[in-house]
Structure formats: C-alpha cells, structure tokens
Structure 1
C-alpha cells in the first residue's frame, strides 16, 4: 500500500517530480507553513474581533507565537525529521522569536510609521493594510528567514543522506 507521501507525489505533474523529490524538505516546510499561516489567520482575527480590538500587533504576535509551537512539532517530526533529543528546541524558539519580530515589523511600520489606521484612514483601508502588511508581507519575509535559519542553525542533522534520499521515503518507488 502506497504511503501518503507517495500518493501525493503521484499527483504532482511528471516534469515537476524530480524537483519536488530533490527539495522535499522545502516542500514539506511550505506545507507546514501554509497550515501555520491558516492557524495564525484564524487566531489573529479571532483576537482582533474580540479581546484585542485596538491591539493588532498584540493579536498578530500571540497568533504567531501559538502557530510557532505547532510549527515546531510538525517541522521536527515531518519537514526536517530531526534525530535525537529535543536539543534543537532552544535554537528553534530563538529563531522563531526573531521571526515573530520580523513578522510584526511590516504591521508596525504600516500602522505607526505610515499611520494607516483610523482616524487617519477608513476602517476598510486599515484592515486591508493590516492584512497585507502583517499577514502577507510579514509572513513571507518571516518565512524566508525561518527556512534559512532553521536549515542553518536548528535542524542540522537530518535523515536525508547526501544524495537526497531518505530511508523512510524512497524516491524511486513513486508511481
């Protein structure tokens, strides 16, 4: 019976399969990131619409911090398949704390440098600006930073060999 990974890979167009197999940790990282993005979005707007109505940066920071814990578990167990103990937890959370700051910067700049908040702009403009600066630009910049920093400083021991194959996921057995 084919694994979930093999089933998913079978749905990838043939010309893209070698790229996906070669860069599987990046693909898995992006899947985890997409899931965490959705989690951040739901928590952020849940907080912004309730207890953090006038504190969008606090809402985004809390949402990002919660999604970071979820990200740690998924990245450790799936994206990077780290071996050994939880020795990477401290560097992971240091990198993640820096990434939260990187994620918050565009929102801070749009709100408090460019004054894109009420009463200077309409509520609609404020919300669009918050979404674009905090959820889109901040997330993209922080994602790039996280991927680079995680590979460089956190998940340095991986199950992948130099050839890019993994004992748990043989690339050659994809239908």
Structure 2
C-alpha cells in the first residue's frame, strides 16, 4: 500500500517541493499574462473602433483574442514554465495543448450552464461567479494537471523515443 510520502514523490515527479512550487508560480504567471492578452485584445478589437470586424464584432474579437492567448500561453509555457520537460514533438504538443484548453473552456461553460439552467441563476453577477470564478478555478486546475502530466510530460519524450518517433527538443 503506497504511503503518503510515496504519493507525494509520484506527484512531484522527481522535483523537490521548491522546484514544483517555482513551476506552479510560473504557470500562474503565464496564466495571468494569457488572461491579460485575451481581455486586452478582446476590448481593443471589439470596443475601440480601431478595427472593423465582420459580423458580430464581439464574437469575432473573442474568437481572435482567445486564439492568440492560447498561442501565447503555449509558447511561454513551453519556453519558461515547462522548458525542461520532454515532449512528443512541438506539433503534437501544440495540438494536445489546444485540446486541453478546449477542455478548460468546456469546464467553464459547464459551470455557467449549471448555474443558469440547473440553479436558475441568470443575473450578470451569477454568470460571472459561475463562469469566471468557479469555472476559471476548475478549468485552471484541469489545465495545470494536464500540462504537467500529459502535454509537457517528460514521460511523453521517453514514449516517443521508445516507439522510434523522433522527438523535437
């Protein structure tokens, strides 16, 4: 039966607590940067009048801002937060990263749907609490675990090398 010490060692994946904590702080910093890119670009595109977007400007602006913030997040996480982690290769890693971010978005949408349709809470305040507080916290936890143990996992590099697939690094 595994002890709590063994469990902690498995979760740390060979890192000291300090190394893990630095990695986690970097992840949070990149997340804050991605949030600023997303919200800032959205407001710049949708509400300043500097750019004229086709169709529903807010919807188009949000699509563009989220897409750019995901690319920003992947690049900075790859170069800084998880720089020492092996990968399947950059293209496959990026595809996995995008899928994980879609999962994080679906978590936020599920929280919003539960609030609106399950609990009948339809105010702007309720929407913001469910999607942008609860959904953001749960989605961020999901993304961190998936980035650490799947997308940027050193084990991914060993699997790729063992199967004869060249790993870019």
Give the TM-score band, short-chain normalised.
0.5 to 0.7
1:70 corresponds, among 69, 72, 76, to 72
**Alignment: residue pair count:** 130
Specify the alignment match of 1:101 in structure 2: 106
Change beyond 3 A, Cα 1:102–1:34: same
Distance 1:106 1:65 in 2: 21
Matches within 5 A, 1:30-69: 30-42=28-40, 51=56, 64-69=66-71
Q: Distance in 1 between matches of 2:94 and 2:41?
A: 23
TM-score of the superposition, structure 2-length normalised?
Answer: 0.60
Aligned to 1:23: 21
Larger RCO (alpha carbons 8 Å, 6+ apart): 1
1:140 aligns with 2:137: yes
**147, 152, 168: which one aligns with 1:150:** 147
Q: For residues 22 and 148 of structure 1, do their structure 2 counterparts lie closer, same or farther at Cα, with a shift above 3 Å needed? A: closer
Cα deviation, 1:82-126, whole Å, max 9, x if unaligned, reads: 557414112212222211111221112222333323xxxxxxxx2
Residues 41 and 135 in structure 1, CA contact (< 8 A), matched pair in contact too? no
Unaligned segments of structure 2, at least 5 residues: 1-15, 49-55, 156-169
Gaps of 5+ in 1: 1-17, 118-125, 159-175
The change in CA–CA distance for 1:48 and 1:129 in structure 2 (over 3 A counts) is: farther
Q: CA 1:107/1:148 → structure 2, altered by over 3 Å: closer, same or farther?
A: same
CA gap of 1:44–1:98, structure 2 versus 1, over 3 A, is: same
Aligned residue number for residue 163 of structure 2: none
Structure 1's 36 and 21: CA in aligned 2 closer, same or farther, altered over 3 A? same
Root-mean-square deviation (CA, aligned residues, Å) is 3.3
State the alpha-carbon separation in 1 of the partners of residues 47 and 124 from structure 2.
11
